[in-house]
Structure 1
Amino acid sequence: MNILQIVLIIAVAALVIGKRLTGRPVDTRRSVVMPGILAVYGWFILQKSGTLTHTDQVWLAVEGAVSVAIGLVRGSTIRLYERDGVLWARYRPLTLLLWIGSIAARFGLEAAAVGAGAGKAAMTSSTMLMFGVSLAAESLIVLPRAYASGIPVLARS
């Protein structure tokens, strides 16, 4: 992973978390498209890291499962409320703590993976992929909650 990719990951994470801490309208398109773009971009970064060994694949699956689990839990902590006639979402302090926990888990899993023989390049290169997967899992919880609220949700096409 080069410095540009690291800066991009930090910038995207700061932007996403920052906007969600202040609150924003729930937007179906953004909730689906952004995680998808991040995951696809992350997949390409991962593919550029070289051939994945079986050990890499196992640890990537573990990281993926943890990313999904944390994203699902995080999605359940998001506050949904009405503002200006549409549904808004806002991260709570617990949601922020879950982000911190997921970052710590990511570093821990990467260290464990490399210690178990997985390639450092593969584990490091999967960061954006796992970020996208985690946001997609979060949306899997938030969007059904949003539609169940009965409050109008932005659905731009």
Structure 2
Amino acid sequence: MPTLLRVLPVLVTVAAVAVRQWRGGPLRPRRVLLAPLLLLVLGLFTRAGLGGPAALLALAPADAVLLAVAAAGAAAVGAGQGRTLRLEDRAGVLWARMPAAGLCWWPVLAGLRAATAHAGAAAGAHAAASGATAVLFLGANRLGQAAVLLPRARATGLPSATGLPPGAAARPGRPAGHRPQPLLRGPNPRGEQRYGAPHRDRDRHRDRREERRRERSATRPDRRRGGAR
């Protein structure tokens, strides 16, 4: 696969992630955790990355060492990004937003990737120097961010936006996960909530059964006194 076809989707992904972080949005822990795992799988076991188990076993020692060092460095940069992200309370929902100064982590990540490619070319580590490691590099970076960001989010005690639709947040003045109460329909002497015609009919039948039961219980003492006489 040509190097441009390998690197271009990664560059587009990086640009999209950087813009999303700068704009901010509701934090979804499942997405924060699953996205780097997916990138790692793509980078290790598909043609978009290293190519699979056979290619991994065929790696030269220099390639393996450089890839391990580069992945650790990318994870360290991701940890710095996770520490820099600001966690905010927006109408009871946890938001994450990267300040403008935090965007400087991306040039650091790009410089680390360029240094890895240069070192790989100098050491004859062709796999580490190729664009096949770009997806793996990005996955390690996102995993490092998740390792720092998720414990920080849990420590705030604020609810995440997991239960909300994608791109939606709670309305101002309402807590996360707020559900409007259904309207009452018809007289309801016991103060219970009724949700529609089937439930209303069921409540009516139940009321009739209770009235009959009360009538029978009221006539039982008279029968007993009549029998005692």
Say whether the fold is shared (TM-score over 0.5): yes
TM-score after normalising by structure 2: 0.63
Matched residues, percent identical? 33
Stretches of structure 2 lacking an aligned partner (at least 5 in a row): 164-229
TM-score after normalising by structure 1: 0.90
Q: Deviations over 1:3-39 (max 9, x none)?
A: 3322211111111111111001110111011111111
Stretches of structure 1 lacking an aligned partner (at least 5 in a row): none
2:33 matched to 1:32?
yes
Q: CA separation in 2, counterparts of 1:123 and 1:4?
A: 12
SS of structure 2 residue aligned to 1:81:
strand
Shift of 1:129: 0.7
Shift of the 63–17 alpha-carbon distance from structure 1 to 2, 3 Å rule, reads same
Shift of 1:92: 1.6
8 A contact 1:78–1:90 mirrored in 2: yes
Q: Deviations over 1:86-139 (max 9, x none)?
A: 100011223210111111111012101221221157642111111011111101
Off by >4 Å, runs of 4+ in structure 1 = none
8 A contact 1:60–1:123 mirrored in 2: no
RMSD of aligned Cα (Å): 1.9
Instruction: Specify which structure has the bigger relative contact order, considering alpha-carbon pairs within 8 angstroms and separated by 6 or more residues.
Output: 1
2:57 matched to 1:69?
no
Higher helix fraction (1 or 2): 1
Give the 5 Å matches for 1:112-151. 112-120=119-127, 123-151=130-158
Greater C-alpha Rg: 2
Other-structure match for 1:14: 15
Determine which of 97, 100, 103 is the counterpart of 1:93.
100
Q: CA separation in 2, counterparts of 1:94 and 1:69?
A: 17
